[in-house]
């Protein structure tokens, strides 16, 4: 009798295993996430890092989160050459795939699509900071960072409080009128300086070429006028020109960079990281130093288990952050509406109605992220992170620094 029972048990077990093997895997709804990219235009040399960050986060999320929810995303890159006309020409084909949410490479995507996205019901997430010209209600290209001007003025207030308390800090800024984004920075920072004389004394707003050959005369002028900080939050070419002028003059006044021309991007062009000793990096993203941070550990996880093949770099972090925001919105919407009921309009409303805690982003943001119909960037409590080159290495010197509340300029 015992033998018969054992045989029956084994038979039942084997039957269960066979039945399990015959059953299909848990149903998954697959959603398309188009990724606007630049593999043959002005940013083709750095686009692979942004794309690598996007793809690794998507792979991680599909395996670790989406698989448990019955959702899978497929990220597909579209080469727009960072050109608004090319983006517009590709968009009908992209729209035919019924995208759930899109990833933007920057300004040309916004220029080409911002006015039609509300009709197409597709929200896009950008990695770049916002511009003042885009500070309008009911926008469908959202960014986890505030405006460039918010980032710059957040740094100015932090520097004044920590380095020159009791008096305004004297700053000069290099930019150009040839770029709408960089001209917008000049306008916003000038308006802030005029409204905040107890915080900052703007010695001069220096306008130079987009790719200047030499700015020694301009830098000498502002240093002689007492500038204590030189803001160059624009592009790589201007940052290199200012650094070379600083070296030629034998001075060591700190230069402040943005994410898109951070010390990590400049070190080979100016000789080494040590050549930027004392210089700063500031923005609403993570400082991609070699420190043992939560963000670096997340990156290392993606390398070890999820196919990340691009270096730990400021541009890599852009792709990681924008994709994380997209999948966090998908998570919230799937839990509320069902994994097979998602649409672009639901993702947009989820982004507008949800405050996403900083912990969801593994240290890749300045703080919590929240959006409203009033602006395409966080306005409730936007924050920035600040890095500095110390001892020949980039280190984080301040996290979660609040930015001032600004009126439109």
pLDDT tens for each residue of the chain, 409 residues long: 444 334 344 444 444 434 333 334 458 999 999 999 999 998 898 999 999 999 999 999 999 999 999 999 999 999 999 999 999 999 999 999 999 999 999 888 988 999 999 999 999 999 899 999 889 999 999 999 999 999 999 999 999 999 999 999 999 999 999 989 999 999 999 999 999 999 999 999 999 999 999 999 999 999 999 999 999 999 999 999 999 999 999 999 999 999 999 999 999 999 999 999 999 999 999 999 999 999 999 999 999 999 999 999 999 999 999 999 999 999 999 999 999 999 999 999 999 999 999 999 999 999 999 999 999 999 999 999 999 999 999 999 999 999 999 999 9
Q: How far apart are CA 110 and CA 347, in angstroms?
A: 18
Q: How far apart are CA 296 and CA 305, in angstroms?
A: 14
pLDDT at 106: 87
128 plus 156 within the same structural domain: no
Rounded to 5 degrees, φ, ψ at 14 are: -65, -40
Judged on CB neighbours under 10 Å (0-12, 13-18, 19+), 285 is buried
362 plus 390 within the same structural domain: no
CA-to-CA separations, 353 to 13, 19, 348, 356, in angstroms, rounded: 49, 44, 9, 10
141 plus 152 within the same structural domain: no
- List, in sequence order, the alpha helices (H) in 131-235: 148-163, 180-195, 216-224
202 plus 277 within the same structural domain: yes
Shortest CA distance to 333 belongs to which of 94, 102, 66? 66
179 plus 324 within the same structural domain: no
pLDDT at 5: 39
pLDDT at 24: 42
**Domain contains 227:** yes
254 plus 395 within the same structural domain: yes
260 plus 315 within the same structural domain: no
195 plus 343 within the same structural domain: no
**Domain contains 352:** yes
- Which DSSP state fits 261? G
Number of structural domains (the chain) is: 2
Rounded to 5 degrees, φ, ψ at 364 are: -80, -10
Q: How far apart are CA 13 and CA 301, in angstroms?
A: 37
33 plus 113 within the same structural domain: yes
**Domain contains 191:** yes
72 plus 209 within the same structural domain: no
**Domain contains 159:** yes
**Domain contains 80:** yes
pLDDT at 100: 98
CATH of the domain at 163: 3.40.50.2300
User: What does the chain come to in residues?
Assistant: 409
pLDDT at 26: 55
Among all chains, which residue has been given the structure tokens 């497929």?
74
**Domain contains 6:** no
Q: How far apart are CA 266 and CA 274, in angstroms?
A: 11
124 plus 171 within the same structural domain: no
User: For residue 322, how many other CB atoms are within 10 A of its CB?
Assistant: 29
- 203: Cα separation from own chain's centroid: 30
Tokens representing residue 182 in the block:
């960089």
**Domain contains 7:** no
Domain that holds residue 345: 29-146+291-378
**Domain contains 10:** no
40 plus 179 within the same structural domain: no
Is residue 47 within 8 A of residue 109, CB to CB? The reply is: no
């Amino acid at each position: 009798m015992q033998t018969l029972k054992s045989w029956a048990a084994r038979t039942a077990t084997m039957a269960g295993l066979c039945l399990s093997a015959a059953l299909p895997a848990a149903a998954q709804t697959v959603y398309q996430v188009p990724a606007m990219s630049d593999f043959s235009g002005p940013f083709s040399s750095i686009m692979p890092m942004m794309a690598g960050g996007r793809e690794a986060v998507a792979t991680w999320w599909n395996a670790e989160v989406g698989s448990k929810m019955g959702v899978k995303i497929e990220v597909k890159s579209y080469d727009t050459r960072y050109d608004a006309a090319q983006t517009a020409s590709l968009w009908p084909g992209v729209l035919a795939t019924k995208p759930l949410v899109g990833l933007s490479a920057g300004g040309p995507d916004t220029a080409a699509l911002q006015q039609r996205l509300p009709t197409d019901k597709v929200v896009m997430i950008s990695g770049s900071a916002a511009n003042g010209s885009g500070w309008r209600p009911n926008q469908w290209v959202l960014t986890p960072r505030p405006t460039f001007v918010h980032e710059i003025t957040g740094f100015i207030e932090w520097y004044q409080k920590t380095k020159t308390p009791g008096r305004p800090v004297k700053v000069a800024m290099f930019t150009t009128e040839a770029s709408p984004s960089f001209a917008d920075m000049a306008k916003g920072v000038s308006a802030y300086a005029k409204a905040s004389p107890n915080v900052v004394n703007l010695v001069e707003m220096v306008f130079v070429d987009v790719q200047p050959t030499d700015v020694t005369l301009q830098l000498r002028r502002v240093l002689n006028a007492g500038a204590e900080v030189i803001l160059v939050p624009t592009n790589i070419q201007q940052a290199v020109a200012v650094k070379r002028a600083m070296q030629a003059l034998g001075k060591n006044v700190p230069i402040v960079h943005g994410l898109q021309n951070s010390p990590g991007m400049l070190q080979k062009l100016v000789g080494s990281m040590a050549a930027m000793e004392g210089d700063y990096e500031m923005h609403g993203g993570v400082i991609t130093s070699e420190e043992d941070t939560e963000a670096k550990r997340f990156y290392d996880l993606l390398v070890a288990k999820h196919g990340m093949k691009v270096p730990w770099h400021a541009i890599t972090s852009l792709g990681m952050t924008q994709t994380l925001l997209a999948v966090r919105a998908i998570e919230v919407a799937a839990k509320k509406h069902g994994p097979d009921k998602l649409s672009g309009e639901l993702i947009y409303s989820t982004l507008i109605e949800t405050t996403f805690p900083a912990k969801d982003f593994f240290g890749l943001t300045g703080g919590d992220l929240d959006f409203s119909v009033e602006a395409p960037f966080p306005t409730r409590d936007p924050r920035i992170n600040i890095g500095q080159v110390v001892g020949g290495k980039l280190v984080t010197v301040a996290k979660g620094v609040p930015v001032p509340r600004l009126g439109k300029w």
